[in-house]
Structure 1
Amino acid sequence: MLSLLHSLLHLTILEAIFLGFAGFLLFLTVRYILESFQLGDLHKKAVFITGCDSGFGRGLALKCLEHGMPVFAGCLTRQGIESLSVDAKKFIGKSGEKGRENGRLDAFLMDVTSDESVEKVAKRLEEKCQEFGGLHAVVNNAGITGKHIADDFLDMEEYLKVAEINLWGPVRTTQAVKKLLKRAKGRVVQVASICARVGLPGLGPYTAAKYGVSGYCDVIRQELRPFGISVHILEPGFFDTPLINRQKIDAEIQEAWELAPSEVKKEYGVQYFQDSRQATQLFLNTIASSQISLVVDAYFHAITARHPRSRYQVGWDSILLFIPMSYLPTGLQDYIFTIIGLFMPKPASR
């Protein structure tokens, strides 16, 4: 041991870099091999997914059905239920391929902000998950972004609205089905965001809620481990889903401006408002990825892998930009935002 330590101390800089690079490649190789093993008997692994009307939740529900899993899909609207049911038909009622079982879909109305709605769903799952020995996974996918505008234009109502869905919704849902997860030694899968790592200007309510839900998952990961339950967080970057519908976001910015107090409008000026609308659209058009399958695949891996990750970074903006930035000292992050701010809209009073 001492001889090894002595040898390491006498490495040249190039040798140290090579050794570190080789060690990193070895880590990636071993991780890749371990993560390639999938659970068996997926047709017995019941999955409960919230926010299945569209986007990631809908895509995940269909992927789970394709692999023969029983899927309980919470939708906010009847239109969402009907649309999902139509798309699910190709995976249900047909002979399974390659020996796979057929998937089973149970889609229902659910509002994650309502105690009554969530309790009603929990009772439904209690009855229907008996044959599966409990619930294998809950996927807290439902969420909204809230208004994309500076904090000066927002009120507490906006913060509470976003937190009710993005923070208290997952807490409420997880607590309601926790006993079913304990029976199956299941998994909690939670979508957070790169905004749970880096606070982006103009996304105050969303960022606060995502930091909160990420913290909640870090706590219950430790608390539920003795019961055989694992907790997994997704940290995707920006993806082109209905969550960031351009027209909706622009209308919300317009609404925030119209409702702002006169002194705030005077302080910022009409030009700031117009420039902010354009900057938001440019940012989303530049950075938002259309490859939503990347997030769906990460969800699916967290549910079905024998050795899932505790955290998944999804999207090149997450992996190459926001996650590395989150490890920088706060002062350096502030300096970077200061440089970026030179090219951003300025309040009229500044």
Structure 2
Amino acid sequence: MSPQNLSLSDSLHIAILASILSLIIYWIIRDRYRVRNLNGKHVFITGCDTGLGNSLAKWLDKKGFCVIAACATEKGSQELRSCSSLSLRTVNLNLADSNSIARAVVFVTEQTAGKGLFGLVSNAEGTAPVGPTDWLRIEDFHSVLDVSLLGLIEITLKLLPLLRKAEGRVVNLINAKGLMAFVGGGYSLSKWGMEAFSDTLRIEMQHFGVKVSIVEHGFFKTEEGNSDVIEKHLFRLWNRLTPEIRDSYGEKYLVEYIKAQRSSVKRLCDYNISNVIKCMEHALIAKYPRTRYRAGWDAKFFWLFLSYAPSCLSDMLLHITFPAPAESRRPVHGVLINV
């Protein structure tokens, strides 16, 4: 078909497709730009005793960054230093303690020596008493929120002057299952709060050259041990319940609830931790970091899908996964009615 024979509608479709293709190519090229001269730039990472924070600290240390790793225990600090370069520094940090946060901020200020802080990666999570809401007390919420949300906010606020000086990066690591509130306790509250805080900070700090990214990750091999911690907390919560509440759920509920937690972790677990490491690295070294990264197949598909799915569908899936209390008054197909 010659250009003269093209209709106005066909020309418009071609123009739209060409524009979309141009934007995709532009985004791919733009996404590949990197910050130069990374050697000597300081990055502060929380939660480095084990897991993702520990792996990222080692990775960035090999890349030539001056890593300042915050660990909750002296044992974690010693083990990390033993397998890293001499430029890596560690500091003990308890995010639930304002005095500990203040000491860590002084340490970071001294280490950066007037250069400012290029990167802040917040990774630490509070202990996780998760379970039915009426099993919990207010202190159970504090044990999570004081670390995972309020502690994160406090240390970010105190490090903002250093980040603004270096026109640095803030990278907040958030478990993607926090996109969907399916268990009681402060866990999902802290994740939703981190999302809101990060978005607000990102918009405001754009004026000062500070970039803020969120890395939403799924279950990884390093987190399988959390199942034992969750199980321990569930037994503690169960043992302190009043006889009335315990009878309303039944012991079979506790057994099946623990089994459901364990099986869901095993089904969704991704063994390639490099996926989330690469996302955090890109957020730190890309000239134009993304607002959000999703690492792990469950973060990209399962949890994201559930967070946008109709409530009747997500409720049905969760009701299939988790047991019903002994005195449940929920009809067998009730979830399909509550649209």
| Shorter-normalised TM range | 0.7 to 0.9
Change (3 A) 1:8 1:154: farther
Change (3 A) 1:289 1:6: same
Task: Tell me the equivalent position of 1:157.
Answer: 139
Task: Tell me the equivalent position of 1:246.
Answer: 227
Of 62, 67, 86, the residue aligned with 2:58 is 62
Whether 1:119 and 2:102 are equivalent positions in the alignment is yes
Alpha-carbon distance, 1:220 to partner:
1.2
Of 271, 274, 294, the residue aligned with 2:255 is 274
Task: Tell me the equivalent position of 1:138.
Answer: 120
SS of equivalent to 1:307: coil
Count of aligned residue pairs for this structure pair: 323
SS of equivalent to 2:221: coil
Contact kept? 2:81, 2:90, Cα under 8 Å: yes
Of 291, 300, 304, the residue aligned with 1:319 is 300
Alpha-carbon distance, 1:30 to partner:
3.6
Amino acid at match of 2:105: A
Contact kept? 1:72, 1:107, Cα under 8 Å: yes
Q: Give deviations 1:292-313, integer Å, cap 9, x for gaps.
A: 2211221111111111101111
SS of equivalent to 2:52: helix
Change (3 A) 1:77 1:308: same
Cα distance between partner residues in 2 of 1:341 and 1:111: 37
Task: Tell me the equivalent position of 2:313.
Answer: 335
Alpha-carbon distance, 1:185 to partner:
0.8
Cα distance between partner residues in 1 of 2:172 and 2:324: 36
Alpha-carbon distance, 1:68 to partner:
0.6
Alpha-carbon distance, 1:110 to partner:
1.0
Amino acid at match of 2:104: V
Cα distance between partner residues in 1 of 2:48 and 2:220: 16
Whether 1:7 and 2:9 are equivalent positions in the alignment is yes
Q: Percent identity?
A: 28
Q: Give deviations 1:244-293, integer Å, cap 9, x for gaps.
A: 52322221111111112222111111111111111111111111222222
Whether 1:87 and 2:83 are equivalent positions in the alignment is yes
Cα distance between partner residues in 1 of 2:10 and 2:308: 27
Task: Tell me the equivalent position of 1:129.
Answer: 112
Cα distance between partner residues in 2 of 1:343 and 1:129: 49
Cα distance between partner residues in 2 of 1:148 and 1:10: 54
Alpha-carbon distance, 1:334 to partner:
3.1
Q: CA RMSD in A?
A: 2.5
Whether 1:190 and 2:172 are equivalent positions in the alignment is yes
Cα distance between partner residues in 2 of 1:165 and 1:110: 11
Show the 5 A alignment for 1:175-324. 175-199=157-181, 201-242=182-223, 244-324=225-305
Task: Tell me the equivalent position of 2:43.
Answer: 47
Say which is worse superposed, 149-158 or 334-343, in terms of deviation.
Answer: 334-343
Q: Give unmatched runs, 5+ long, in structure 2.
A: 1-5, 329-339
Change (3 A) 1:336 1:25: farther
